[in-house]
Amino acid sequence: MTSRLSVSILVSIAMLCLGTAAIAQAQPANMSFFVTSAGPGKGADLGGLAGADKTCQTLAQAAGAGSKTWHAYLSTQGPGAVNARDRIGSGPWQNAKGAVIAKDVAELHGKNNLTKDTALTEKGEKVNGRGDTPNMHDILTGSQPDGTAFAAGDDRTCGNWTKSGQGSAMVGHSDRQGLRDDDVSKSWNSSHPSRGPDGGCSQSDLKSTGGNGFFYCFATK
């Protein structure tokens, strides 16, 4: 009897472990939002919107969520300007752990659930924020707080994501923290322009102000 009981317990434990593993594998497949765990490495030169979208798709594929169509949350300026908010589908969006960050575009640009604990990479990992070494919370967006593009004039997209020298890109703070206790410092998508000794768009420039060339990716469908 004791032997049978032991076997029964072992079988139950094994089934529980298998069930837990299945849930863990299912979460990335259901993921519809993430912060890139790496960029192309050329600062804000992402290869334009097409290059950024390809990075999103490639990272999602590696994480087991490649069956979806992924777009980068990035705006462009000038003729044919594109609004980041118009590129990401209608929601809802959830991270690699299953937490919903916003149910729709309006909530995403209002009272969303995007924090350091929920703005995870495609691997389900937190992004270093203020107080961490190194800080990497500056996320490229090129966007205004409502997710729309800036007017042509002052560069806020590093030449529509093709420059790694002179220029600047608007960034948001994925951990919702900054130098001050105000809305701008807490903005996830429109906190401050990039800057630095190389001109503002290089990888070292992005790192110098607390970034690493990361951006947001959303599943459009």
Tens digits of residue pLDDT in 109-138 = 999 999 999 999 999 999 999 999 999 999
Residue 67 has what pLDDT?
Answer: 96
Task: Specify whether the CB–CB gap between 38 and 217 falls below 8 A.
Answer: no
d(CA 125, CA 142) in angstroms, rounded, equals 24
User: Mean pLDDT, the chain, as a whole number?
Assistant: 90
C-alpha 166: how far from chain center: 24
Q: Which contiguous run of DSSP H or E holds residue 27? A: helix 2-30
**Strand ranges, E, within 155-200:** 170-173, 192-193
Task: Specify whether the CB–CB gap between 196 and 208 falls below 8 A.
Answer: yes
Q: Which contiguous run of DSSP H or E holds residue 216? A: strand 211-219
Residue 143 has what pLDDT?
Answer: 98
d(CA 46, CA 120) in angstroms, rounded, equals 20
Check pLDDT > 60 for residue 165: yes
Check pLDDT > 50 for residue 98: yes
Residue 28 has what pLDDT?
Answer: 73
d(CA 44, CA 160) in angstroms, rounded, equals 9
